[in-house]
Structure 1
Amino acid sequence: MQWNLFSHAKRKNRFGFADILVILLLLAVLYAAAKLGSGMNVPFSPDRQSSLSLDPKWLPYYAGRSLLRMFIAFAASLIFTFVYGRIAAYNRTAEKIMIPALDILQSVPVLGFLSATVMAFMALFPGSLLGVECASIFAIFTGQVWNMTFGFYHSLTTIPRDLNEAAQMNRLGAWHRFVKLEVPFSMIGLVWNSMMSFGGGWFFLAASESISVLNQDIHLPGIGSYMAMAADAGDTRAIAYAILTMIALIVLVDQFFWRPIVAWSQKFKVEQTEASEVPDSWVFDILRKARFVRDVNRSVRTLLRDGLAGIAASAPRARRSRISPRLGYALKWGLAALALAFALRYVYEGILEIAKLSASELVRVVILGLWTAIRVFVSTLLAVVWTLPAGVYIGTNPRLARIAQPVVQVFASFPANMAFPVITILYLKLGLSLEIGAIPLMMLGTQWYVLFNVIAGAMAIPSDLKEASTMLKLTRRQTWRKLILPAVFPFLVTGCITASGGAWNASIVSELVSWKNDELQASGLGAYIARATTLGRWPEIIWGIIVMCLMVVIVNRLIWRRLYKLAEKKYHLD
């Protein structure tokens, strides 16, 4: 019997076919990243750019360049999420500044960022394409990061009391609390929010790769630029090729990246009874069988543990030093003063620019903002109407989730503005006005924030609570009122906040659409900022962004933040 057990353990730890597949895949990814990354740092001048081609043979290369930008932006978003969300959740003084700042940042249009960041990064990397690449990645980053940060912050503020007490009793330090409690507890919501945020990056891919700011047209190699060129040329065949390539790309990312992570994240679900059905992934099954993955995982954990032990050992010596606290205090206030000086400088310059506008123009922009606010509110409300029942149904049915996840991922990740040319043709033929037609265009890119958050909330409902509702023989209405709605309410509020901010951002591309020489425009702040950005009119850009930020903050303070506090106090697992 002992020999059989030894033989089984030996076979389990043996280097096998799964290891070969994993190593080959890893080498292929590293080679592709190096090959694609080398094209980011080449000589560049706005006057002499490398021309892009609509030949379909270039689509794999363009898709690879776009995907590399997406993952670089996602890695930066993940780091920002952990740092920013944790500080905002545990420092009440900082929270009063950081959360409103997050409201403002998520509402500032991507095109508003591009106007400043393109010039800044080009000055930082003169004569190199790397500057424009960094600006494009930063624009994608701004389309991904806010939803993830809100989701992580929400998870930290709703950690059950008994888990917090257990962490205190075991005297977990900041790092161990982070890796053993905070990240595991927030994992399911973080994964689904990350999928949605990744899709948000796709949404503005065309705007971040085909840049038209300050009367300059800059085109980066990528599928977003390819789609923009095809739309400008009115080449329907090239548009079809781009759409098919995008769908194939999204499915591959879902199968090789997101689905394994969803399957892995189920082990962090807070429940006392194991679920009868859980999401699965053939890629995740291969990774679990590979000895190479276990060895790498063990080595990384050992390295982190030894590094943290060394930091902990040196900490007492640092505390005994008399000069370190003074230096830290001076450094903190010095950096704060420097940041304040920069902020005041740009505020002063912004005021000087806004002063160039007439009073009637200032008032007109505010009125345009109110029109856009109505569209944002209606689009968010319509999104909740269908995503709440659909998200709960998907999240509570693992079999359906296996089928629906890739389908939803395709729709959510597919850049809605790639469908805008087709919708524009439809509007032109039917004679529909964009005043109302802009609302469905906003929903194409923002309704998924609500859906993914509701799915995450439904999947996080513990199996023992579901079994208890079955044993109590609750009716469907009672189950919704007593279990489902309270469980998903915090996730729903998070989704509505990010969807509302995303709708403001999407107004830039939803209120002004074109096909060949035909153009449709709605009366709104989004169209105003888009037009001003293209023409390089800084006073109009700055005032438009300020009005948009103020309106977002006011709505969030009056509606969403109050619902958020209600979710923290009443509707969380405890």
Structure 2
Amino acid sequence: MSWPRSAAGRGARPVRAADRLTRLNWVDLVVAAAVLVGLYVVLRVGRGTAVSFTPSRTVTVSTDPANLPYYAARSLLRMFAALAASTVFSLLYAYTAAHSRRLQRILIPALDILQSVPVLGFLTVAVTGFVALFPGSLLGLECAAIFAIFTSQAWNMTFGFYQSLITLPRELDEVSRSLRCTRWMRFWRIELPSGAIGLVWNGMMSFGGGWFFLVASEQISVSHHKYALPGVGSYAGSAIAEGDLGKVGWAVLTMTVMVVAVNFLFWRPLTAWVERFKNEQAEATEVQRSVVLDLLRRSYWPRLLGRVLAPPARALARACRVFGVDDRPLAVRPVRRRAGDLAFGTVATSLVCWGLVDLGRYFRQRTGLGVFGEPLLLGLATLARVLIVLAVATLVWVPIGVRIGFSPRLSRLAQPLVQILASFPANFLFPLATWFFLRTGLSLNIGGILLMALGAQWYILFNTIAGAMAIPTDLREAMDDLGVRGWQRWRRLIIPGIFPAYVTGGITASGGAWNASIVSEVVTFGGTALTATGLGAYIAHATADGDYPHLLAGVAVMSLYVVALNRLLWRRLYRLAETRYSMG
């Protein structure tokens, strides 16, 4: 607290908030005006989410470009609502999985399955449930769309934060336990700051994943009923269906403006602020900068808000002492199973088996178990495309991500471009892709790999950048002083430093590629449709036809492939990252 002296040399007195508010500078006025405008836009746009709606009528959107500003605001509101829900889910889910050996055996395999279920699979069920929950109101469809975007964001963030918890630097873990921190204090002072860089960069990537499925979440087709919510995604979908390249161009321009604005106003300040949590002993020579963050730091409003929230925060911290002291170290070695763990596992296994038996009865009554034969074969084609995407993305983007993460100056220049490329929905470019494939005669069986890469490769890039940024500057300077270069530098510093983050990127890129196959193996523009041989096309056709048995079969087979790949490859790499490549 500052203590100014009076001109007469009298004693000092503390600066009160009221005194400070009488001397507001232009920065305070700009920040206050921006907040008021933001609240007005949210309230104005939010009114359109609760209008009357009946499931029997088909909802469409106008393709008049004059509506695009309003549509952009509606899409942004859905995206940030889904991001808030994804952040809360990630913190709770990852913390529970990392701190409970018993629940970890259930939650992490369940997360593998959840991220393997296509967005269309969630959307089909969500629409029916939310429309029934909010009868006669458009809010049901809005919640279904937000839920669909949530399912494209949450899994990547959860995997990333879980990875940061299980690879917590050992010195931080020992300091926490020696100081007898409560679980609440340990989380807010140790665990969350340690994983903040990865959480922000994974959040940025997940936000881009939400853009990718914006069309699918705002243009909903269930049981031969088509619903379109006002938004840029539904506008682009309608323009693509009409075959109007001019209107598609307006959608592309609007999306570009939205991505750049969100990056400048939200992600750039957040990535610059979160660098304060980097675990290092030497101060970096260059740091990320943000004009918006500099304005906020010069403004008095954040400090005033901190003073207002401090008393309830302290009261909440005192109340959370009931959770006790977390004096049990995280599990880094296999432990002997106790009787309670075996009983818990038996109950969980019994419930899963019961569900599988009931699902098998459903298929025998509808189509027979032979319905799984075709998707199993088609899944091999999609699996080959997924593996190609992962291999090429690793070879191309890991070196680039390390270079960006090590250079704050390069990060400032590259972040907006990378964010635009990662966030831009690939299906906005499908009209051009259709034209290119038809002109060149390139089969979608090969071209689909390129389209899948547009939706999956960025997970590896963003996680690599986050992993490289988290490597302490003093370690890099020590390598420079020792003259370690080339492959030796990669083997002794870079690979161990980025490996946990890369594994997180790989496992989410794998799930993202499977999800992207649904919109990449069927490409339409106007009256032209191209279809590739694969499981994604199988699920897309079943969803459009409202064929629930084939849709369930396709989703089940895709989940099987994703879980098998995670169990055989990524889960083993996770254990290697946890036991060998944990910082500290």
**TM-score, length-scaled by structure 1:** 0.92
How far 1:28 moved relative to its partner? Answer: 1.0
String of CA shifts for 1:130-170, please: whole Å, max 9, x gaps.
11111100000000000000000000001111111111111
Corresponding residue number in structure 2 for 1:476: 486
**Residues 386, 513 of structure 2: 8 Å contact kept:** yes
Q: Which moved more, 1:3-12 or 1:411-420?
A: 3-12
Q: Against the structure 1 CA distance between its residues 346 and 139, is the aligned structure 2 distance closer, same or farther, given a 3 Å change threshold? A: farther
CA distance in 1, matches of 2:75, 2:356: 32
**Residues 354, 540 of structure 1: 8 Å contact kept:** no
Equivalent residue of 1:419, what SS? helix
Equivalent residue of 2:367, what SS? coil
Q: Against the structure 1 CA distance between its residues 529 and 350, is the aligned structure 2 distance closer, same or farther, given a 3 Å change threshold? A: farther
Aligned match for 2:413, one of 386, 403, 408: 403
CA distance in 2, matches of 1:314, 1:219: 46
Q: Against the structure 1 CA distance between its residues 461 and 413, is the aligned structure 2 distance closer, same or farther, given a 3 Å change threshold? A: same
* Alignment of 1:231 onto 2:240: yes
**Residues 466, 501 of structure 2: 8 Å contact kept:** yes
Q: Against the structure 1 CA distance between its residues 351 and 227, is the aligned structure 2 distance closer, same or farther, given a 3 Å change threshold? A: farther
How far 1:311 moved relative to its partner? Answer: 5.2
Q: Which moved more, 1:306-315 or 1:548-557?
A: 306-315
* Alignment of 1:420 onto 2:443: no
Equivalent residue of 2:195, what SS? helix
Corresponding residue number in structure 2 for 1:374: 384
Q: Against the structure 1 CA distance between its residues 365 and 354, is the aligned structure 2 distance closer, same or farther, given a 3 Å change threshold? A: farther
Aligned match for 1:257, one of 266, 270, 274: 266
Corresponding residue number in structure 1 for 2:227: 218
Corresponding residue number in structure 2 for 1:570: 580
How far 1:303 moved relative to its partner? Answer: 1.2
How far 1:18 moved relative to its partner? Answer: 1.6
Corresponding residue number in structure 2 for 1:327: none
Q: 1:561 is matched by which residue type in structure 2?
A: R
CA distance in 2, matches of 1:384, 1:235: 37
Q: 2:472 is matched by which residue type in structure 1?
A: P
How far 1:47 moved relative to its partner? Answer: 3.7
**Residues 184, 323 of structure 2: 8 Å contact kept:** no
* Alignment of 1:199 onto 2:218: no
* Alignment of 1:110 onto 2:113: no
String of CA shifts for 1:62-110, please: whole Å, max 9, x gaps.
0000000000000000000000000111111111111111111111001
Q: 1:88 is matched by which residue type in structure 2?
A: A
Equivalent residue of 1:514, what SS? strand
Aligned match for 2:363, one of 353, 363, 369: 353
**Residues 108, 549 of structure 1: 8 Å contact kept:** yes
Pairs within 5 Å for 1:432-511: 432-511=442-521
How far 1:360 moved relative to its partner? Answer: 4.5
Figure out how many residues of one structure are paired with residues of the other and give that number: 557
**Residues 182, 321 of structure 2: 8 Å contact kept:** no
CA distance in 2, matches of 1:404, 1:166: 37
Corresponding residue number in structure 2 for 1:86: 95
String of CA shifts for 1:501-526, please: whole Å, max 9, x gaps.
01111111011111111111111111
CA distance in 2, matches of 1:2, 1:121: 58
How far 1:571 moved relative to its partner? Answer: 1.0
CA distance in 2, matches of 1:311, 1:8: 32
Equivalent residue of 1:218, what SS? strand
Corresponding residue number in structure 2 for 1:45: 54
Pairs within 5 Å for 1:524-543: 524-543=534-553
How far 1:306 moved relative to its partner? Answer: 1.4
**Residues 143, 201 of structure 1: 8 Å contact kept:** yes
Equivalent residue of 2:227, what SS? strand
Q: 2:497 is matched by which residue type in structure 1?
A: A
Q: Against the structure 1 CA distance between its residues 304 and 342, is the aligned structure 2 distance closer, same or farther, given a 3 Å change threshold? A: farther
CA distance in 2, matches of 1:539, 1:166: 54
* Alignment of 1:185 onto 2:194: yes
CA distance in 1, matches of 2:357, 2:90: 27
CA distance in 2, matches of 1:450, 1:51: 37
**Residues 354, 542 of structure 1: 8 Å contact kept:** no
Corresponding residue number in structure 2 for 1:126: 135
Equivalent residue of 1:280, what SS? coil
Q: Against the structure 1 CA distance between its residues 343 and 415, is the aligned structure 2 distance closer, same or farther, given a 3 Å change threshold? A: farther
String of CA shifts for 1:208-237, please: whole Å, max 9, x gaps.
001112111100000000000000001101
Corresponding residue number in structure 1 for 2:337: none
Q: Against the structure 1 CA distance between its residues 340 and 52, is the aligned structure 2 distance closer, same or farther, given a 3 Å change threshold? A: farther
* Alignment of 1:289 onto 2:289: no
Unpaired segments of 5 or more residues in structure 2? 325-342
Q: Against the structure 1 CA distance between its residues 207 and 280, is the aligned structure 2 distance closer, same or farther, given a 3 Å change threshold? A: same
String of CA shifts for 1:382-437, please: whole Å, max 9, x gaps.
11111101101111111110010011001111111111221111111111111111
**Residues 458, 484 of structure 1: 8 Å contact kept:** yes
Corresponding residue number in structure 1 for 2:334: none
Equivalent residue of 2:49, what SS? coil
Query: What's the Cα RMSD here?
Result: 2.6
CA distance in 2, matches of 1:477, 1:187: 29
Q: Against the structure 1 CA distance between its residues 351 and 108, is the aligned structure 2 distance closer, same or farther, given a 3 Å change threshold? A: farther
Q: Against the structure 1 CA distance between its residues 43 and 164, is the aligned structure 2 distance closer, same or farther, given a 3 Å change threshold? A: same
CA distance in 2, matches of 1:339, 1:43: 44
CA distance in 1, matches of 2:263, 2:154: 19
CA distance in 2, matches of 1:168, 1:415: 45
* Alignment of 1:142 onto 2:151: yes
Q: 1:71 is matched by which residue type in structure 2?
A: F
Corresponding residue number in structure 2 for 1:394: 404
Q: Against the structure 1 CA distance between its residues 154 and 519, is the aligned structure 2 distance closer, same or farther, given a 3 Å change threshold? A: same
